[in-house]
Amino acid sequence: MGSEKEKAVEFKIKRFDPERNKRYLSTYKVPILTGMTILDALLYIKDNLDGTLTFRHSCRMGQCGSCGILANGKPMLACYTQVLQLGVDVLEIEPLPNLPVIKDLVVDFHPFFEKFVKIKPILIRAEEELRKPTEFTQMPSDLKKYWDESICIKCSLCYGSCPAAIDMKFLGPSSLTTNYRFIVDTRDDGLSERLKTASETIWLCTSCSSCTLSCPKEIDCATVLDNERGLIVEEGVLVPRTAKDVLTSAFKYHNPVRMSPGKRTDWSKGLEIKELPMVEKTDVLYFVGCLPSYDARNQEIAKSIAQIFRKIDVNFATLGNEEWCCGDHILRLGEKGLFEMLAEHNASLFKKYGFNRIITISPHCYHTFKNDKPYTDIGLNVQHYTQFISEAIKNGRLRPVKAIKKKVTYHDPCFLGKRSGIYDEPREILKSIPGLELVEMGRSKENSFCCGGGAGRIWTEEATPENRPCVNRTKEALELGVEVIATACPFCVTALEDAVKVLDAEDKIVVKDVSELLREAL
Ligand code: FES
């Protein structure tokens, strides 16, 4: 180990001793050379420092899927990850979550593989057809349809990072992706059986994208699951009543919350906010979204942001009652046709009125305007409000002056963080508030844990408290001893506030949008 590139890295390994039923921590200093993987380092520890350390591996080349671990909170294959590339001096290594631990870093894969048995990872064909080999011929173009889904190595990293998988009922990203692989395989005759199996639990998926981000083979499981839900809705297979209600409401009222379209601007009464149908041109189009328009709690966020805009003389207007749901949750729920109807309406207004940029409250509106057709066809200049406001703070147009002497943690909304890469701006706003102490949760930024509200689950939630992601997340904040969970999404606010009530913790912790804390500090 005499290389110039050698660096000592501290390995803190969270272990489990089944004989004493005890969890404990072991720390080792490991000399790391260029090219050494986490698995190499674990083998070094076992050979040189502690022969009792137990972990699983086989192929050492990212193929067998047996060496998954959490490294500094992120699911990884130990044999696939070079230590020096992580750029850290300390590495915390833990077994993968959502699976029972057998010993140290070795988890029991049985619950994970049982999900694959349920989806039948073999071609479903009638017996007599199986005997006709020529029927199995496929063209290369057919292979392309499911090639990406076929390269899954069943390592369970996606399952370990999945917020929905805290509920054992959920089939999980990899098995649902494998299910889809057979759905699009022209040789498979099990379409209705496969859609029925998927429809039983796919609604627990929140589209948070943790699975896509953790996959060592870069399979976009989140998009595959969106497509699978789309097929379920298209074929009319067992859509839960709660999801149907959301879709019906979005069709009838142009919002998912069964409110009259004529009441969309009620939140702004007394604030004299300009509406584009009347003024025709503005600098900023303030896209309010459904929850901040209709839900009493979230109307406070719409007001906060409008007041902050006023403070810095932003020339802004809304679409008034002409604004319709952006459609993001509808698209994630699989109703592509309905999404297009909503989006085409909004897009036609965007083309009709003059403005320089759109600012959204919800990360869901932001994400769909940035990524989904027909919005992307217009070339919109979209910002989430945290981007716009943090810019104003940076260039001195806005200066929080009143101290908020509170310990605050920030919960990353998945559609703002993991799906859009916006992690710093909300934190910069919070750090600009005098007296406010920002403390990070163990799971933050790209390793953040979803509130459980995405893909329409905010309206369809039926899990027991211990299986709800928002309850799991709020417990994490409570353990940190903070007084406030700040976030920047109406759906996160709703889900986390609900969890605070479920946990009977209203006297210990409150949930605030970043804009509400900033308004208090101005
Ligand atoms: Fe086989 Fe890592 S040892 S994937």
Please indicate, yes or no, whether residues 315 and 330 belong to a single structural domain of this protein: yes
Please indicate, yes or no, whether residues 52 and 128 belong to a single structural domain of this protein: no
In terms of Cβ atoms closer than 10 Å to its own Cβ (0-12, 13-18, 19+), residue 446 is middle
Cβ(267)–Cβ(300) below 8 Å: no
Please check whether residue 270 lies inside any domain of the structure: yes
Cβ(464)–Cβ(482) below 8 Å: no
- Interval 458-466 mean pLDDT: 84
CA torsion through residues 466, 472, 476, 477, sign: negative
Q: Kindly tell me if the per-residue pLDDT of 175 is higher than 80.
A: yes
Cβ(517)–Cβ(404) below 8 Å: yes
CA torsion through residues 346, 349, 351, 357, sign: negative
**Does the CB atom of residue 99 touch ligand 1 within 6 A?**
no
Please check whether residue 364 lies inside any domain of the structure: yes
Please check whether residue 386 lies inside any domain of the structure: yes
Of 71-75, 125-129, 368-372, 443-447, minimum mean pLDDT range: 125-129
Please check whether residue 246 lies inside any domain of the structure: no
pLDDT for position 170: 95
Please indicate, yes or no, whether residues 66 and 136 belong to a single structural domain of this protein: no
Tokens 């889900």 -> residue = 495
* Position 26, amino acid: S
Q: pLDDT digit string (tens) for 244-259?
A: 899 999 999 999 999 9
Please check whether residue 420 lies inside any domain of the structure: yes
pLDDT for position 133: 65
Q: If you measure from the C-alpha of residue 59 to the centroid of ligand 1, how many angstroms do you get, rounded to a whole number? A: 5
How does residue 273 score in pLDDT terms, banded at 50, 70 and 90? very high
pLDDT for position 427: 98
Please indicate, yes or no, whether residues 131 and 211 belong to a single structural domain of this protein: yes
Please indicate, yes or no, whether residues 434 and 308 belong to a single structural domain of this protein: no
The residues facing 325 across adjacent strands are: none
Domain count within the chain: 4
Please indicate, yes or no, whether residues 386 and 265 belong to a single structural domain of this protein: yes
- Interval 509-513 mean pLDDT: 98
How does residue 1 score in pLDDT terms, banded at 50, 70 and 90? very low
Please check whether residue 244 lies inside any domain of the structure: no
Please check whether residue 59 lies inside any domain of the structure: yes
Please indicate, yes or no, whether residues 214 and 132 belong to a single structural domain of this protein: yes
pLDDT for position 2: 45
**Does the CB atom of residue 217 touch ligand 1 within 6 A?**
no
Q: Domain range spanning residue 114?
A: 110-235
The enclosing H or E element of 346 equals helix 336-352
- Interval 350-356 mean pLDDT: 91
CB atoms within 10 A of CB 336: 18
Please check whether residue 245 lies inside any domain of the structure: no
Please indicate, yes or no, whether residues 273 and 197 belong to a single structural domain of this protein: no
| Residue of 42, 56, 57, 152 with the most ligand 1 atoms within 8 Å of its CB, for mutation | 57
pLDDT for position 412: 97
Of 34-43, 157-166, 458-467, minimum mean pLDDT range: 458-467
| Residue of 59, 69, 154 with the most ligand 1 atoms within 8 Å of its CB, for mutation | 59
Q: If you measure from the C-alpha of residue 378 to the centroid of ligand 1, how many angstroms do you get, rounded to a whole number? A: 45
Which residue, 311, 256, 288, 279, is CA-closest to 385? 288
CATH number at residue 466: 3.40.50
Q: If you measure from the C-alpha of residue 216 to the centroid of ligand 1, how many angstroms do you get, rounded to a whole number? A: 11
Please indicate, yes or no, whether residues 259 and 380 belong to a single structural domain of this protein: yes
- Interval 147-161 mean pLDDT: 92
CATH number at residue 54: 3.10.20.30
| Residue of 58, 107, 157 with the most ligand 1 atoms within 8 Å of its CB, for mutation | 58
Please indicate, yes or no, whether residues 405 and 320 belong to a single structural domain of this protein: no
Q: Kindly tell me if the per-residue pLDDT of 130 is higher than 90.
A: no
Q: pLDDT digit string (tens) for 157-173?
A: 999 999 999 999 999 99
Tokens 């005997």 -> residue = 131
**Does the CB atom of residue 65 touch ligand 1 within 6 A?**
yes
Q: pLDDT digit string (tens) for 354-409?
A: 899 999 999 999 999 999 999 999 989 999 999 999 999 999 999 999 999 999 99
Please indicate, yes or no, whether residues 326 and 420 belong to a single structural domain of this protein: no
Which residue, 403, 394, 380, is CA-closest to 425? 394
Q: CA 163 to CA 448: how far, in whole Å?
A: 10
Q: How many CA atoms lie within 13 A of 442 on its CB side?
A: 16
Q: If you measure from the C-alpha of residue 61 to the centroid of ligand 1, how many angstroms do you get, rounded to a whole number? A: 5
Q: If you measure from the C-alpha of residue 5 to the centroid of ligand 1, how many angstroms do you get, rounded to a whole number? A: 25
